[in-house]
Structure 1
C-alpha cells in the first residue's frame, strides 16, 4: 500500500514533531541535571537522548521507506526500519547499563548523595511530561489516520517514557520535602531496567525481521483461513511470509480446477489477493496458480 500525499505529509509532521520535542527535552534536561545532580534526571536525559536518535532514525525511515521499489530494490526499502531499530536497541542497552551501574553505585554509598535545586528540576520534568503528552496525542491521531506503524511504534515508545519522567518528579519532590535523596537512585534503577527491557524487545524484533522470520502465527493463520474458504480455491500449499519494517510479504500457491479457463483462474487468484490486502493493507502478495489434482484426494 502506498500513502497518499496527505497521509505522507501527516507521517512527516509526526516525525518532525518527534524530533523537535526530543531535541528540546534534551536541552532542558541537560540544564536540570547540571542544576540538581539527580540521577533520576540523568536517566530521563539518557532516555530523551535515545528518543532523539530514535526519532531521527524514525523520520529517516519514514522518508526512505516511502520510496518506491527500483531496479536495485525490487521489494522496496522498508527493511531500513528493521536495520535502524537494531542499531537503536544497541544504543539503548548501553545507556541502560551505564545508568544502572551509576545508580547502583550511588545507592550503596554510605552517605546519600544530596540533591540540589529540586524546584527547578521539578519544573523542567513537569514541562517534559506535558510536552510528551501533547506529542503522544498528535502521533495517535496521525497513526489512526494513516496506519503508519513507525509513527505508532514511536507513540508507544513515548508513552513508555512518561514513567521515568514522572518517577524523576516524584524523586525530586520526596528529596525536597523529606530529604529522601536515595529515592533518586531507586527511580533511576527502575528507569534503567525499563530501558533494558525495551532494548531487548526492539532488538529481537529487528533481528527477526532481518533474518526473514515468518509473520506472527495469528497473521499466518488468518491468511490461511482466507485462502481455505475462498470460492474456487480447491486447496493451497507453500504459504510463506516475512516482514520488512511495516510491510508484510506473502507468497502462496493455490490449487484450481484445471478445466476452467485461464481468465477464470486469474480472476480467482486476483480476488484472493485483494482480500488478503484488504485484511493486511501493507501486504505485498504473490499468488502462484497450480492445477488441482483429483488423485490427491485418495
Structure 2
C-alpha cells in the first residue's frame, strides 16, 4: 500500500493509513511517497520529509490519496501529479480521503462513478465535476476498485471498511479497539452538517438504540422503538434521522447484518440459526439483506473469513 502525499496535505489524514493498516503489519506494508521524492508542504506551518518518490506507485496494490488543497485539482493537475498517477498499475485499488476525491476527479478516475467528499465542498465539487455521481450524505463510497470518503475521520471509517472487506469484521474490530475508535459509525454526513441547536430538554433516541442492539432477535418495528423511547412514531422517526442520519428501519437492518457477519466468522451456527439470533424472520431474508449489504452470500462470506482456532483465541 502506497500513500501519495501531495502539496497542502492534511497531516491528520496523512497519518490515517499508517495508523489503521500499520496496526496489521503482518498483512499490510504501508509506504509514503511524493510526486518527486522531496519534502511536502502541509496545510499547517510545517513540511514533511518523504523518503520515497513516485516510483513506488507502479507496484502498489492499493494507493491512498489523503486530503490536500483542492485548488490544485480544480485548477488542473500539475504535470508532476499527472505523471505520478499514470504510474498506478491497472487493477490497483485507489482510495481517497476527503478532498483527495478532487484529485481523482480531476484525473478522470471518477467519471461516471459514485463518490463522496466533505459536505462543505459539495457545490464546488459538482460545479467542477458534473460527470460524477456525488453523494454528500454518506461517510464513504465503495465502488470496487475506487473508494472515496468524506471529511477527516471518515477516512478512518473507510480504512476500517477496507480491513473488514479484506480480512473480516473480527480483524477490523480488533484494529478499531487498538485505535480506540468505533468499528462502525452509524449514519452518514447528514448528522454532521450544521443545523440549529436542538432543544437540550428534547429526548434522545440513544438509549433506545442501545436497547435495540441488545434485543436484535426481537421483531423490532418503528412502533416498538417509539414505545420504548416514549415518543410518538412520527416524533421518534424524525428525531432518529436527525441523530443518526438514516431511518430506524435502515439502521436496524444495518445492525442485524453487522451482527450476522460476526456470527458467521466466529460461531458454528447455520444461516437459519443466525437469522433468528439477529432478528431476520427467515434465512432467506438474511441472505437477501446480507447479499445486498456485503455483496456476497453468507456462506461465501464465512468461507472467506472464518477464523481458525488460534485466531479466535487471540481475537
TM-score range, shorter chain: under 0.3
Higher helix share: 1
Q: With a CA cutoff of 8 Å and minimum separation of 6, indicate the structure with the bigger relative contact order.
A: 1
TM-score, structure 2 as length reference = 0.25
TM-score, structure 1 as length reference = 0.26
